Structure 1
Amino acid sequence: MSLQSFDLNLLKTFDSLMETRSVSLTAQQLSLTQPAVSNALARLRRLLDDPLLVRTKYGMEPTERALSLKTPVKEGLRQLEGAIQPTSAFDPLTSNRRFTIAAPDFIAVKLLSRLMQRWKETAPQVTINARHLGPDTPEKGLEQGAVDLAVGRFLDVPSRFNRQSLRTESLVCLLASDQAQGKASLSLEEFLALQFVWVSNSGRRGMVDHWLDRQNVQREISLVVSTYTSGAMLVAESQYGLVIAGSYAEYFSQRLPLSVLPLEFDPGQFSIDMLWHPFTEGDMALRWLRSEILWAASADES
């Protein structure tokens, strides 16, 4: 089968069917009749020599062939739409665009507090939908356009995504101010004498614990929470410690009775990165958003 003999309108139908898994819902979504969608599905099945959607007791389910085509078709349609649509200027002062950002809470709270203050004057109608980001790259959200940008520490980033480093971070320890007792830093011995609040969404161990493993020692974890915000609030009223990136520790220490103690040992540094999908490159609004996040992330260094 050659592309010349393929009706590209069928790809829009295929894309919708993969999302809705329903002929009737696809007909509503594309403003078509149900017979028209059924006919398009029949043509797709003949052209691709695969049933694509099969009826089960759970409803219509895609075949392996359909699943393998889902992402390439969606990406191709987005890139084609971006290429044929005229590039329009973006005016943040008058736009009411809604952006979706995925980030861990300790990053989101600092970035967004700066951006929302700035946007009161420069982009008063722009809104943000902030999604919590766990340890994994939100590949599906970026590919389907449900997430405009992801910001965080990423271990495994597929090469199909664009990536830009925002800053390099070192780990520090947060302690309640009355627990710090005038200390300026923590030695390894002092660190190991503490009990810790550990922030984890997956049970996956972090840099400091891998470093401690190599030294054949372990720290004592007394409490596990899902966000750094809740962890910082708990530490402010307890004897526990919290390991966190340095610049974000400063953010919490300015708002809670907390002291930031550098570590006298070096578990390593890491990069806070921004990720986006290449099919958004031509979106002037998202270019503006990326530049705003770069500004917010670099404000500490200016």
Structure 2
Amino acid sequence: MSQRSIETGLRKFDLNLLPVFWTLMKTRSVTRTGEALFLSQPATSAALARLRASFKDDLFVRQGRTLEPTPKAEALMEQLGPLMQGVAGALGESIPFNPATDARTFRIGMAEDVAMAVMPALPAIREAAPHCRLISRAASYRTIPEMFATREISLFIGHVEELPASSKQRVIRRTGWVVLRDSASPGPVDLDTYCARPHLLVTPRGDLTGIADEILAGMGRQREVVLGLPDYALIPRALLGTNLLCLVSEAVFDALSILDDKRRLAADPPPFPCPESVTYMAWRGAVDHDPGEMWLRAQLIQALTQHEPKGMAPPLRPS
């Protein structure tokens, strides 16, 4: 294709439509595309209509509640995908970020215990970047690949396993474990006591098996989990006034410091060896060198490491 043909084609096509096409391919939804690009639904629908007119193809056809790409759209994505990633990376590196004056919206996925630890740092981040907005999404290692692919979040903090090949990650905290109990109940807890007393488990999936059960099984022992909870913040109230035990990472125990009920809990060392609990930060490769995202990552790393637990926390007694 001649240079003149290229220039003519670029003049005729509105390049602002490309992010809409890219996001539609990821979300398969006009509504979610509008939310990701901060466009109204009518504006997003109008952009889709212009895309269809420009490429003389439906591009997306509705099947149930989702939009399925046509063969033409798939072919376009195969050609445009690498180019869009390159442009996004180039622009991200070239546009400076001033937290005091710039307006940005950051989208973060966090495990609940991490979100509890981050909350006390938000006022300082807000003060440093008064015109920025931060959206926190509930996320886990299971949902990260899809949430990265659809650009629902650009950053995740928590436990990770498999990530998209283009993603970046780093370890931001390693901690041990503690056995929590009501400080008025007997302690410290040895192995026989641990196996004899009832347990609670934070279990978003609704099962009653955790890391302790795997360790105990290897030792020929077992415990009984009698209560499953969906949120870490419920642990103190569930333990108080009972003989229940709860094994949590020191990071979770540290995060509970924002709750007044923590002072009525005691924390004992586990009566068996536990592997380290590792907290990761992972982010989309496309924002690796984005100045704004780099600034935010630095703020969150500082917030999560400045109060990192140092060894075993002593038992806490009522004041």
* Alignment partners' CA distance in 2, 1:201 and 1:169: 21
Q: CA RMSD in A?
A: 3.6
Once the two structures are superposed, residues 213-264 of structure 1 have per-residue CA deviations (whole angstroms, 9 ceiling, x without a partner) of 2223221111111111112331234322221111321342673111111113
2:192 maps to amino acid = E
- Structure 2 counterpart of 1:196: 199
Kept in 2, the 8 Å contact 1:198–1:224? The answer is: yes
Determine whether 1:255 maps to 2:284.
Answer: no
* Alignment partners' CA distance in 2, 1:165 and 1:39: 47
* Alignment partners' CA distance in 1, 2:184 and 2:142: 36
Structure 2: give runs of 5+ residues left out of the alignment. 31-39, 311-319
Kept in 1, the 8 Å contact 2:89–2:286? The answer is: yes
Once the two structures are superposed, residues 165-213 of structure 1 have per-residue CA deviations (whole angstroms, 9 ceiling, x without a partner) of 011122211111112x3x34x3221211221111111246432222122
Q: Secondary structure at the match of 2:94?
A: coil
Quickly say closer, same or farther: Cα 1:82–1:161, change in 2 above 3 A.
closer
Determine whether 1:152 maps to 2:134.
Answer: no
Q: Where do residues 133-152 of structure 1 align in structure 2 (5 Å cutoff)?
A: 133-152=139-158
Quickly say closer, same or farther: Cα 1:132–1:120, change in 2 above 3 A.
closer
- Structure 2 counterpart of 1:106: 113
Kept in 2, the 8 Å contact 1:173–1:242? The answer is: yes
The normalised TM-score by structure 2 is: 0.74
* Alignment partners' CA distance in 2, 1:145 and 1:57: 22
Quickly say closer, same or farther: Cα 1:85–1:132, change in 2 above 3 A.
closer
- Structure 2 counterpart of 1:246: 250
Question: Which residue of 163, 166, 187 maps to 2:190?
Answer: 187
Please report how far the alpha carbon of residue 12 of structure 1 lies from its aligned counterpart in structure 2 after TM superposition. 4.8
Q: How many residues align structurally?
A: 286
Quickly say closer, same or farther: Cα 1:80–1:259, change in 2 above 3 A.
same
Kept in 2, the 8 Å contact 1:167–1:272? The answer is: yes
* Alignment partners' CA distance in 2, 1:108 and 1:72: 38
* Alignment partners' CA distance in 2, 1:79 and 1:220: 53
* Alignment partners' CA distance in 1, 2:214 and 2:78: 35
Kept in 1, the 8 Å contact 2:93–2:290? The answer is: no
2:260 maps to amino acid = R
Question: Which residue of 8, 33, 39 maps to 2:53?
Answer: 39
* Alignment partners' CA distance in 2, 1:282 and 1:173: 40
Kept in 2, the 8 Å contact 1:168–1:272? The answer is: yes
Once the two structures are superposed, residues 130-169 of structure 1 have per-residue CA deviations (whole angstroms, 9 ceiling, x without a partner) of 2222342411222332212111112333432101101112
Determine whether 1:214 maps to 2:218.
Answer: yes
- Structure 2 counterpart of 1:162: 168
Q: Secondary structure at the match of 1:91?
A: coil
